Structure 1
Amino acid sequence: MKLSIVIPVYNEETTLEEIVERVQQAPYEKELILVDDCSKDSTPEIMAKLEQQYDNVRCFRHEVNKGKGGALATGFSKVSGDVVLIQDADLEYDPADYPVLLRPIEEAGADVVYGSRFLGGPYVRVHLFYHYLGNRFLTLMSNCFTNLNLTDMETCYKVFRREVADKIDIQSSTFAVEPEITAKVARLRCRIYEVPISYAGRDYSEGKKIGPKDAVIALWAIVRWSPLFFRG
């Protein structure tokens, strides 16, 4: 099984090299698809260095900022593996969890796996109560419109069999991509599993990018892409 790891990148000069090194330690045949979403710091130079350093790293760059959804759409179009995994470029999510994420695909016939921060992973940083509350509310609303029983719709860690990833035509450009993907895998009637993961969340002083405006956008996306209404 070959693993395609899609990493959207925006102004991550302080963490990019370390996350790539951690991903490289995962015991799988893999390719890393890095998509720079028009970073303004030294991220492009670091990506060029990583592409030279590793023969399994492929880098792409947007000349204009297209948001996380745009970066994922580009990354999904470049994958060649059997399984596609989304990895953020910061250090909030630990690639040491890959075996846990992949086990339902390897052993239980899962089509899609979500890594949940709320199922009791090995460790979860305690912080930002209102961010937690917003996540749980958006997950609840998503579940109401998709008839799923997820605990963490907004998680970065989403894993797909390649044949499922190929059917997801990502159109959102913002963090609305999370409810969009969730609605579309629900519409495909995929076999979806959740597993507990570790989480070392950042606060805003450490570079966290998502904010209250993104929650409003995500709420609209839950309705916009709901299988109850969307037929495209």
Structure 2
Amino acid sequence: MVLPTYNERANVAPIAAELLPLQEHFALEILFVDDDSADGTAEEVKRLAHVHDPIRLIRRVGRAGLSSAIKEGILDATGDLIVVMDCDGQHEPATVETAVRQLLAGGADLVVGSRFHPEARIHGLSDRRERNSTWANSVARFSLPAYRRLTDYMSGFFVLRPEAVLPLVRRIDVNGFKFLYELLSLSGGRLKVEEVPLSFQPRIAGDSKLDLAIVWDLGVSILHTLLWRSVPRRAISFALVGGIGVLVQLAVNRLLMVLGLGFEQALTPAVLVAATSNYLINNALTFRFQRQQGAALVRGLLKFLIVASLPVLANVGVASAFYQLVRPSAFWAQLAGIVVVFVWNYAASSRFVWNSP
């Protein structure tokens, strides 16, 4: 059993108490994969491991992220079957035995615990979360035609056969948030997948980890799938941020022109403002696991602007030439300059600003 944790200290003992009785039916290994929580989660797991043999701790330092934790747990697990579930108590341990029995009886490669199965009961989602999850599942279904009969592509509860799934797990991009969606996307319909209904409970303690970065990751994952996984995930995210930068540049340029500056005079500050906004958004979303903070944030911005200095000049030069020689349109002129420099900005800033290949 693989349970990823981050600041879940209050949930560890209750969830362990509910899982340990499964020893009556299965040889059990419970792996808590902790992202170096600051609240004492790892220490609580250690305390329980001294008392209960099945409990193990994988403490990750310098590595973070839900998908990354799940991947590491699956690769480290020694069981003939692997269960992945949340550590917040929202997945009922009673469902574990149901899912395992169905996998063994039906010959499936993967059994998913679904919150949206016709027989499921949802007690742990607000109306807003349920609506958002339903919408996200609809979009995911469109992007995964081979698995259209499934009802929950974002579940954090599933059981798998390692021999069928491990080759795919090794290839999963851990920058994604929803591990199951990434696994289904990567498999291309080759897995035999079944579902069991979940009784989805309120959290035992703590707060949900859902935030803007997670929603952003989901959108990037779906676009990645719709593009046949032909473009790197980070390049998609970088391009989306670049799209926001386009709007910022156009808005600033327009504002400065309204204030009386000419197009060429307004263009340079508009490009610099857009570059700064791109850096800050990429730092928060695209490269959040290498996120710069404090003084490093300022140094990173200076590096980003230095790396972008050549394309900034190219942006201004191409846009000005387009404006003067091709079409005197501020919109199309700036867009031409932006397109020219995208690949350089992505490759160079990934390597030299966030030290990421």
| TM-score between both structures, scaled by the size of structure 1 | 0.88
> CA offset at residue 46 of structure 1?
0.4
Q: Is the CA contact (8 Å cut-off) linking 2:109 and 2:165 kept in structure 1?
A: no
Q: 1:126 to 1:6 in 2, by over 3 A?
A: closer
Q: Which runs of 4+ in 1 moved over 4 A?
A: none
1:216 Cα deviation from its structure 2 partner: 2.3
Higher alpha-carbon deviation: 12-21 or 166-175 = 166-175
Q: Percent identity?
A: 23
Question: In the alignment, which residue of structure 1 is the partner of 2:5?
Answer: 9
RCO (CA 8 Å, sep 6+): is it higher in 1 or 2?
1
Deviations 1:89-127 (A, max 9, x none): 111111111122123311111111111111244642164
Moved more, 125-134 or 8-17: 125-134
* Distance apart, 1:184 and its partner CA: 2.3
- Which residue of the partner structure matches residue 47 of structure 2? 49
Q: CA deviation at 1:136?
A: 1.6
CA distance in 1, matches of 2:144, 2:91: 26
Q: How far apart are residue 209 of structure 1 and its match?
A: 1.1
Match of 1:200 in 2: 201
Alignment of 1:98-177 (within 5 A): 98-121=96-119, 123-125=121-123, 127-147=125-145, 148-149=147-148, 150-167=150-167, 168-169=169-170, 170-177=172-179
Give, in whole Å, the separation in 1 of the partners of 2:203 and 2:17: 19
Q: After TM superposition, give the deviation of residue 58 of structure 1 in Å.
A: 1.7
Distance 2:40 2:114 in 1: 32
Contact 1:73–1:171, Cα closer than 8 Å, also in 2 = no
Residues 180-195 of structure 1: pairs in structure 2 closer than 5 A = 180-185=182-187, 187=188, 189-195=190-196
Is the contact between residue 111 and residue 190 of structure 1 (CA under 8 Å) also seen in structure 2? yes
2:217 corresponds in structure 1 to 217
Matches of 2:55 and 2:155, distance apart in 1:
24
Contact kept, 8 Å, 1:66 with 1:173, in 2: the verdict is: no
Match of 2:141, as an amino acid? N
The residue identity in structure 2 corresponding to 1:88 is D
From 27, 31, 34, the equivalent of 2:32 is: 34
Shift of 1:65: 4.6
* Amino acid paired to 2:18: R
Pick closer, same or farther for the CA change 1:228–1:173 going to 2, 3 Å: closer
Q: Secondary structure at the match of 1:59?
A: strand
List alignment gaps of at least 5 residues for structure 1. none
The structural deviation recorded for 1:227 is 8.5
Instruction: State how 1:80-95 maps to structure 2 within 5 Å.
Output: 80-95=78-93
Contact preservation (8 Å) 1:30, 1:56: yes
Q: How many Å separate the matches in 1 of 2:227 and 2:101?
A: 28
Of residues 10, 16, 22, the one that matches 2:18 is 22
Matched position secondary structure for 2:10: coil
- Does the 8 A contact of 2:5 with 2:33 survive in 1? yes
Residues in 1 aligned to 2:43 and 2:7: alpha-carbon distance in whole angstroms? 11
Stretch deviating more after TM superposition (108-117 or 22-31)? 22-31
CA distance in 2, matches of 1:76, 1:42: 23
Shift of 1:174: 4.9
Residue 72 of structure 1 deviates from its aligned partner by 1.0
Aligned 8 A contact 2:90 2:124 in 1: no
CA RMSD of aligned residues (A): 2.3
